[in-house]
Chains A and B, each alone.
Chain A
């Protein structure tokens, strides 16, 4: 219990951007500390996912609470090897463990912010007409979608700023840290988008039933969908 409390106290240090401490924490894989980061990542993103899914239906809230942390963790794991290879190539000489822990730390920061914002999002959802009444409350729905986007963007930006500080601390200089950060971001966005596509729906559509996964989760890709949407918009 006391170990858990001690580890939990390190999360504010992560949020404050104490790069010195954070850099030291990537040196060794301390099991209780990593477990606490995972707990914060899962708890924070699950709370935010639940608030997001609640807009559609209580059942969807449960599903999204399970799927949202999955996207984050699978993205971190899926790109772990690639990130570890890119870092030394781009000038920050760190290994697999350090790169994975650094990415996990940044996800912990993002998830802590998302978790803290989840009561606010739940309050907004509570005050928004149900998703099924979309036609009668376009402004409210637009506001809710905008709120979700702004919160996620803020969490992402804050987490990446802290990650950048940490990468600078790990060596290689500011330029190398920036290059590594952009490479990691590109990889994570690429994989994360596809994982989100496969694990859809997160909010759900009023015209479709509430499901954990769509009937054809592996059919198509996020990028194909974007391509078809653009083609419909401009060519049809």
Chain B
């Protein structure tokens, strides 16, 4: 019962992004249960395997049920790694765009900090998400939760890439660190919102509902992301050192930046 190979085979569905030669669904992970009616996997399109990072990116944006279904199957680790690869790659590219505001060392420092910050935030918050899901009665496995968090980070980073041209245009036309910071925060907020929606729907589709705990976790995750922008500063302006020596709460850092910006014009 735990093996998807025992279920009646579903007809392969051609996809725009995937070759028609790979229609066989992957075998189920040990302990996985057959999908319930309406759950990911009941629609044949959900079962089209995701073979590479491009396929995973497209599935994230256009057919997330494929991701949720694949996360319950064997080989989920490959998909999770692919999603993390997407998150890393996209964060590096977006970080480069952020670095173009100041240029020089920031061209490599900003990508490294943004990519590392994103992945570390996910890693820090992963154990609490798993514990919250268990406390909420969700019967999800740790690997599935890892996959969902990887999907959140990947979708967040992919959306940031979509905003990158707009961010670059602004970074070439303004001198204000505070204005650029606000713009990047707005883009990150939109991307995080979509990422969290992906995560919440993923838990629901995996038949694991714990809305209260998930809301608390989402708030914690957002706080960690915001504090990470301060802990790894400067992401936008320039500095003599790679990391700051002074510890600050992110709100204090924002107010200080606004003050400095209004007094001096805060040149790049």
Q: How far is the CA of A139 from the CA of B127 in the complex (A)?
A: 27
Which among B131, B138, B227, B247 has the greatest number of chain A C-beta atoms within 10 A?
B131
Contacts of B239 in A (CB 8 A): none
Is A16 within 8 A of B134, CB to CB? yes
A129 in the interface (beta carbon within 8 A): yes
Q: How far is the CA of A123 from the CA of B221 in the complex (A)?
A: 12
Is A117 within 8 A of B227, CB to CB? no
Q: Interface size of A by Cβ–Cβ distance < 8 Å?
A: 24
CB of B110, distance to nearest CB on chain A (Å): 20
Q: How far is the CA of A129 from the CA of B135 in the complex (A)?
A: 33
B33 in the interface (beta carbon within 8 A): no
Q: Which label, helix, strand, loop or mixed, suits the secondary structure of the A interface?
A: helix
Contacts of B247 in A (CB 8 A): 126-130, 137, 140
Is B249 within 8 A of A143, CB to CB? yes
Is A127 within 8 A of B128, CB to CB? no
Is B139 within 8 A of A16, CB to CB? yes
Is B128 within 8 A of A116, CB to CB? yes
Is A158 within 8 A of B135, CB to CB? yes
B125 in the interface (beta carbon within 8 A): yes
Contacts of A117 in B (CB 8 A): 127-128, 131
Q: Which label, helix, strand, loop or mixed, suits the secondary structure of the B interface?
A: helix
Q: How far is the CA of A119 from the CA of B246 in the complex (A)?
A: 21
CB of B68, distance to nearest CB on chain A (Å): 20
Is A115 within 8 A of B134, CB to CB? no
Is A119 within 8 A of B134, CB to CB? no
Q: What 1/0 flags go to B214-235 for Cβ under 8 Å of A? A: 0000001000100100110000
B124 in the interface (beta carbon within 8 A): yes
Is B137 within 8 A of A120, CB to CB? no
Q: What 1/0 flags go to A5-31 for Cβ under 8 Å of B? A: 000000010011100000000000000
Q: What 1/0 flags go to B231-260 for Cβ under 8 Å of A? A: 100000000000000111100000000000
CB of B194, distance to nearest CB on chain A (Å): 23
A103 in the interface (beta carbon within 8 A): no
Is A15 within 8 A of B134, CB to CB? yes
Q: Interface size of B by Cβ–Cβ distance < 8 Å?
A: 21
Is A140 within 8 A of B249, CB to CB? yes
Is B124 within 8 A of A119, CB to CB? yes
Contacts of A113 in B (CB 8 A): 131, 135
Contacts of A177 in B (CB 8 A): none
CB of A140, distance to nearest CB on chain B (Å): 6
Q: Within the complex, which residue of A16, A17, A119, A137 is in contact with B127, where a contact is CB–CB below 8 Å? A: A119
B20 in the interface (beta carbon within 8 A): no
CB of B76, distance to nearest CB on chain A (Å): 17
* 21 A-B residue pairs with CB within 8 Å: A12-B134, A15-B131, A16-B137, A16-B138, A16-B139, A112-B131, A113-B131, A113-B135, A116-B131, A117-B127, A119-B127, A120-B128, A123-B224, A123-B227, A126-B231, A127-B230, A129-B247, A130-B247, A140-B247, A143-B249, A158-B135
A residues at B contact (CB < 8 Å)? 12, 15-17, 112-113, 115-120, 122-123, 126-130, 137, 139-140, 143, 158
In the complex, the 8 A-B pairs of residues with the closest C-beta atoms, listed nearest first: A15-B134, A116-B127, A116-B131, A119-B124, A12-B134, A129-B247, A116-B128, A16-B137
